Amino acid sequence: MEKETQKKVLLSGIQPSGDLHLGNYLGAIKNWAELSDQFECYWFMADLHTITVRQNPADLRRRTLTQIAVYIACGLDPEKNTIFVQSHVPAHAELGWVLDCYTMFGELSRMTQFKDKSAKHADNINAGLFTYPCLMAADILLYQPDFVPVGEDQKQHVEICRDIANRFNHVYGEVFRMPEPYIPKQGARVMSLNQPDTKMSKSIPEGCVFLLEKPEDILRKFKRAVTDSDTEHCVRYAPGEKPGVSNLIQIYAACTGKSFEDVEREFDGKGYGVFKPAVGEAVVETLRPIREETERLLADKAYLESVYRAGAEKASYVANKTLRKVYKKVGFLAP
Ligand code: TYM
């Protein structure tokens, strides 16, 4: 029992703003499942974050529930992991406000995600989009985690979270533990299949493989994947020169557990016509059990409800402890 309490803490979340895709899986959830035995883990659906961009309410509710089922289907056992919905734990929004007041306009303006999203949604550059990193910092700091496992694109947000925590600790003493980003060696940046210079995301659906997509659609997307215009036609890992092929090697390696060298050897002398369908098959086989288990879980709404209720209760207990400490430090009168 004592050992249990000494476990290091991990936390991460995904926005239920679109159907989960292979980038979310290889960059995040797959690694979470591998780490969940050794750490005390908090995994959540970042629904508060999604409304920085307009959402269809019914779709948001459906995707949030589906995401819980996918987490479990990917191997996150609710008995060992705390799985919850961000909006069910009000402390996130509450600490988010406090941290807004300890974050500078200049540092928020430099955030890549803010710049990208405000270019994409020029008609809705709202204050929430701008202060997004403060809410994300609150998500993290409430649980005092040691590590935050994320894909490469979220590293900047974990770094600003550290800056905010440092600033706060500097004024009030050691309130927050300093979290480290934990970026996987393989799969940290899965690129779009049809635009390999852009990261895989739901906004380019033809280049994006969704976790619950039908096998025949997945295979078709891989057959059409952009390779490279060079003449050597060989399966070689060289992201600068051969971004398309290197992305496929990365995906194949992450799905099969092989090294890049093993993959190069396996397809030595074979053309892209053999390689691309093989990657598609490996992905289909990786995703098949996840899809089947997700479908099974979605048929049992009462179970999913019991998971997220228990998760919110456990998460609230931990989060409120940190929040109370913060409120006391800044000088709010105890209720
Ligand atoms: P989000 O929802 O965009 O993505 C969730 C996770 O998936 C990873 N990811 C990728 N990894 C590799 N290749 C890709 N193409 C790819 N696309 C997405 C992301 O790096 C991330 O790990 N702000 C966060 C959500 C969040 C959060 C948090 C994360 C809110 N609060 C607190 C950690 C801790 C986001 O928008 O991720």
> Among 154, 161, 182, 210, which residue has the most ligand 1 atoms within 8 Å of its CB, making it the best to mutate?
154
pTM: 0.94
CA distance 141 to 176: 6
Q: Does residue 289 form part of some domain?
A: yes
Q: Are residues 306 and 288 in the same domain?
A: no
The 3-state DSSP class for residue 175 equals: coil
φ/ψ of 232, rounded to 5, equals -75, -25
Q: Are residues 272 and 305 in the same domain?
A: no
Q: What is the Å distance from ligand 1's center to 190 Cα?
A: 12
Q: Does residue 320 form part of some domain?
A: yes
For 211, how many CA atoms within 13 A lie in the half-sphere containing its CB?
29
210-228 burial, b for 16+ CB within 10 Å, e for fewer?
bbbbeeeebbebbeebbbb
Residue 134, burial from CB neighbour count under 10 angstroms (0-12, 13-18, 19+)? buried
> Among 14, 43, 53, 180, which residue has the most ligand 1 atoms within 8 Å of its CB, making it the best to mutate?
14
Q: Is 199 in the pocket of ligand 1 (CB under 6 A)?
A: yes
Q: Does residue 200 form part of some domain?
A: no
Residue minimizing CA distance to atom 18 of ligand 1: 24
202 part of the active site: yes
The amino acid occupying position 325 is: K
> What confidence tens digit (pLDDT) does each residue in 57-86 have?
999 999 999 999 999 999 999 999 999 999
Give the active site residue among 3, 155, 202, 321. Answer: 202
- In angstroms, the Cα distances linking 214 to 59, 154, 275, 287 are 20, 29, 20, 10
CA distance 246 to 230: 13
Q: Are residues 272 and 325 in the same domain?
A: no
Strand partners, 35: none
Neighbours of 327 (CB within 10 A): 16
Q: Are residues 48 and 112 in the same domain?
A: yes
Q: Are residues 147 and 284 in the same domain?
A: no
Q: Does residue 197 form part of some domain?
A: no
> What confidence tens digit (pLDDT) does each residue in 157-187 have?
999 999 999 999 999 999 999 999 999 888 8
- Res 262 pLDDT > 60: yes
Q: What is the Å distance from ligand 1's center to 154 Cα?
A: 6
Q: Does residue 56 form part of some domain?
A: yes
291's CB contacts (< 8 A; 6+ apart) are 73, 211, 212
Q: Are residues 221 and 287 in the same domain?
A: yes
Domain containing 286 — which CATH number? 1.10.240.10
- Res 4 pLDDT > 80: no
What pLDDT sits at residue 186?
A: 80
The 3-state DSSP class for residue 45 equals: strand
Q: What is the residue-averaged pLDDT of the chain? A: 95
Q: Are residues 143 and 260 in the same domain?
A: no
Q: Is 148 in the pocket of ligand 1 (CB under 6 A)?
A: yes
Q: Is 150 in the pocket of ligand 1 (CB under 6 A)?
A: yes
Q: Are residues 132 and 232 in the same domain?
A: no
DSSP E strands: which ranges in the chain? 9-14, 40-45, 81-85, 147-149, 180-182
For 9, how many CA atoms within 13 A lie in the half-sphere containing its CB?
16
Q: Are residues 70 and 41 in the same domain?
A: yes
What pLDDT sits at residue 79?
A: 96
- Taking Cα atoms as reference points, which of 179, 80, 191, 189 lies closest to residue 136? 179
The amino acid occupying position 14 is: I
> What confidence tens digit (pLDDT) does each residue in 296-331 have?
999 999 999 999 999 999 999 999 999 999 999 999
Domain containing 65 — which CATH number? 3.40.50.620
User: pLDDT band at residue 5, thresholds of 50, 70 and 90?
Assistant: low
Q: What is the Å distance from ligand 1's center to 158 Cα?
A: 11
Percent of the chain whose pLDDT exceeds 70:
99
Strand partners, 9: 40
- Res 3 pLDDT > 60: no
Q: Is 27 in the pocket of ligand 1 (CB under 6 A)?
A: yes
283's CB contacts (< 8 A; 6+ apart) are 22, 209, 218, 222, 251, 255
Q: Would residue 222 be called left, alpha or beta, if left means φ above 0 and alpha means ψ between -120 and 50 degrees?
A: alpha
Q: Are residues 177 and 264 in the same domain?
A: no
Length of the chain measured in residues: 335
Residue minimizing CA distance to atom 34 of ligand 1: 12
CA distance 248 to 223: 11
Total structural domains within the chain: 2
What pLDDT sits at residue 1?
A: 41
- Taking Cα atoms as reference points, which of 57, 24, 76, 45 lies closest to residue 199? 24
What pLDDT sits at residue 233?
A: 80
The answer to whether residues 183 and 150 touch, using CB atoms and an 8 Å cutoff, is yes
Instruction: Dig out the tokens for 273 from the structure.
Output: 């016509």
309 lies in which domain range?
A: 2-188+301-330
Q: Is 154 in the pocket of ligand 1 (CB under 6 A)?
A: yes
For 240, how many CA atoms within 13 A lie in the half-sphere containing its CB?
0
Q: Is 49 in the pocket of ligand 1 (CB under 6 A)?
A: yes
Q: Does residue 105 form part of some domain?
A: yes
Q: Are residues 157 and 278 in the same domain?
A: no
- Res 2 pLDDT > 60: no
Angle between helix 301-330 and 91-100 (nearest 10): 40
Percent of the chain whose pLDDT exceeds 90:
91
Q: Are residues 19 and 152 in the same domain?
A: yes
Q: Does residue 156 form part of some domain?
A: yes
Q: What is the Å distance from ligand 1's center to 24 Cα?
A: 7
Q: Is 63 in the pocket of ligand 1 (CB under 6 A)?
A: no
177's CB contacts (< 8 A; 6+ apart) are 141, 144, 145, 146
199 part of the active site: yes
